[in-house]
């Protein structure tokens, strides 16, 4: 246990030093960079999304895309640092022809602790996953894509 704690501490220190020296992007800047529409990476992401939608349509299956928000441990969703990126992801999926579930409105007024697994892990906890599943189910049913539509 002592070795892994020391390793993680050294790794965190190295990361923060690299960010401070501008040798590496910090988390927020990294997320913003992923959505830079002027980069070939973004264009490849959009093309891949269009291809996934086309493949799903060719197979006779609609594609439902759930766009999860990325909370900040200090602020949760207020202010929401990635509102532009959230909107951009929603728009890209809609433009590609997918049915989209924007999950931000379902979490925007909640606390970080209502969403995240822990103070250090912003992935959705079981309660947040249940809320998202209900929102996704509602969209699927509203579009007539649920199990009853297959009958």
Q: SS3 for 103?
A: coil
Give the model confidence (pLDDT) of 68-120 as tens digits: 998 877 777 888 889 999 999 999 999 999 999 999 999 988 888 889 998 88
Whether the CB-CB separation of 68 and 15 falls below 8 Å is answered with no
**Helix spans in 35-82 (H):** 40-58
Write the pLDDT tens digit of every residue in 32-52: 999 999 999 999 999 999 999
Count CB neighbours of 76 within 10 A: 21
């Amino acid at each position: 246990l002592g070795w892994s704690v020391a390793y993680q501490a050294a790794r965190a220190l190295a990361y923060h030093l690299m960010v401070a020296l501008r040798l590496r992007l910090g988390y927020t800047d990294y997320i913003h960079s992923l959505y830079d529409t002027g980069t070939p990476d973004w264009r490849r992401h959009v093309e891949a999304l269009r291809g996934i939608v086309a493949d799903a349509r060719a197979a006779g299956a609609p594609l439902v895309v759930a766009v999860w928000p990325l909370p900040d441990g200090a602020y949760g969703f207020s202010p929401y640092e990635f509102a532009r990126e959230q909107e951009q992801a929603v728009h890209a999926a809609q433009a590609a022809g997918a049915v989209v579930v924007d999950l931000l409105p379902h979490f925007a007024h909640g606390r970080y602790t209502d969403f995240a697994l822990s103070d250090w892990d912003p992935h959705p906890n079981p309660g947040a996953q249940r809320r998202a599943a209900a929102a996704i189910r509602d969209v699927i049913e509203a579009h007539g894509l649920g199990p009853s539509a297959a009958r």
